[in-house]
Chain A
Amino acid sequence: MIKQPIYLDYSATTPVDPRVADKMIPYLTEKFGNPASRSHEFGWDAERAVEEAREQVAKLVNADPKEIIWTSGATESNNLAIKGAAHFYKGKGKHLVTVMTEHKAVIDTMRHLESEGYEVTYLMPETNGLVDMAKFTAALRPDTILASVMLVNNEIGVIQDVAGLGEVCRAKGVLFHVDAAQATGKVTIDLAKLKVDLMSFSAHKTYGPKGIGALYVQRKPRIRLEAQMHGGGHERGLRSGTLATHQIVGMGEAFRIAREEMASENERIRYLRDRLYKGLSQIEEAHVNGDMEQRVPHNLNISFNFVEGESLIMAIRELAVSSGSACTSASLEPSYVLRALGRSDELAHSSIRFTIGRFTTEEEIDFAIDLVKAKIGRLREMSPLWDMFKEGIDLSTVQWAAH
């Protein structure tokens, strides 16, 4: 008997790896010192642990530990990178570039800067979710301060060509920020080679604890930021606030495990994802959202046409998954990411994101396939749109009474 519900929402968050939890606990009870305390052993122990963790984080992405700044998570890292650079370099211009499918932590930060008088270009991705290099290049202007593009999309898992985009930015003298919250442990990141100036990280998407993240701030050439949090001048003045030693230790250990195990882990996860994909693609009118090649191995975002996403999630309560349809909000708007790919409203409303992880088993995947197949059949029997489709009616030609 499989334990239910089955967790297939690893892009929302991951459980803390037991090895990570074990390493964290002593820093809550015995080794509780403040890493900023320079006058005794409690402080020195904590500081040593923080610096070891910084090294582990830096190692995963091939950066210098001095380039890693602790934050509370990727949202804060995105805020610090984008606002910090925009404010510091406003003498150069007031223009920024990003993509419509970015995480809200980037989109809303950009929107805030617009209210401060900055101008932002939101690029539309191609229908596979990827950014077109020519359109990106054309969007960069002489007064552009910074461009921000995520490495791995949280909803559809597509991998942007940040190496190529970085080259373009560097050639044009534009700072390049990359949100890599969904990428660590899934794709290889080599910051010694990438032309990336700022990169955001999160621990809890990679089997570390929630509430801790980091920002990579390149040293050569040196990137300057205006601090968003003021106080004791921690983290070279970029982010004041007492360091959360236990969280930091957890992030370090999680990133160490990611570095050592990602190759074999991704192979296993890819096998499971492909098995899931094979099973679900036997369902009629199932459409994968986002490019299937330029994609992390653990993501499958799929729309089941003529079935509404929230009712499907309700039907498959034995699975913990996400729907692209934000139907629980009063606005009834489908996922803005899927809309930006040009998906029809029906498909955008009918999407389910399956994200597989370290503790997913083959039995769980097989159970999920059988369950989804059965429930899709049941809901389609109830769906007037499915009837119309079967009668050969083109739904886009129907005059709907919008409400």
Chain B
Amino acid sequence: MAAFRASDASRAPGTAGAAGTIVVRGLTRRFGPTVAVRPLAFELGPGGVTGLLGPNGSGKSTLLRMLLGLVPPDAGTASVDGVPLRGDGTAVRRRCPYLPGEVAVYGEMSGRAHLAWFLRGRERESRASAIGIATELGLPLERRVRGYSHGMKRLLLLAAALAPRARVRVLDEPTEGLDPSRRGQILGLLAREAKNGTTILLSSHHLGEVERVCDRVLFLRRGELLDEEQSRRLRRRAGRVVRVAWADPIDPAAAAGSLATRGAEDVRIEGGRATFVLPAGDPRRALAEILSARDLPAPTSLVYGEFSLHELYRALYGEEGV
């Protein structure tokens, strides 16, 4: 991955955002009667990794595709790396490499030829860079792509998305289908990129990796972006999430009632385990009362106050999309 040169900072006059930023103002998209993305507004960068989270169908991919001009928005404006989104977005895609969420490739091509195909329309050096990344990732570039596993195809797409010099990259589920070691390798690459000043917007279902690599998280639900304050409240709320396990299954109704009378919120009980949120006022006291309650058995394990995007996800969306 080569960093963008400072000399590339030429800008079209009158563009909305600065170099290395993503600026979205009121982007909206409908598919028939369904509103896929409601009017959205946010600014990212310059620099840093932003994670886009949301359950399936929440509009993540549509939003990313709109930013790249692959899906024309019904309303609103956007600019990427200082270039306003216009027409079919060719100017934006020239400045911002994109990793598609769908892993689809031309099986009849070799890995090397495919990289060259992906990088058509970009500077020539990016091909050498892509071959370097692909080799580092252990891809057999002389083999036809039809013989690649799902994860290898994803890595090939990633090599093409990470190779061009760019200040902004948009990656739709970059580690989907990769084994844990490869996932770690890719996250390391992204973290290094961000450290060098690149703005990365990625969507993911791997909540752990979002926690690990992202310094900002955007939550989408039914095409709507939760505002930062709501997001902060939810993060704080996630800090009060308690998970308790008992040795034997308990009566769910009785246990839920007992927990609720002691201030527990959003109680969910499955078998011998319960997840709930402590009240905001005095969570420690509520926890002490719950642990000493005579109508509940003594727990065998308890997890409290551990920040977890997974729990945040559940608090936001319930079981949906987890």
Our verdict on whether A and B bind, yes or no, reads no
B→A interface (CB under 8 Å): none
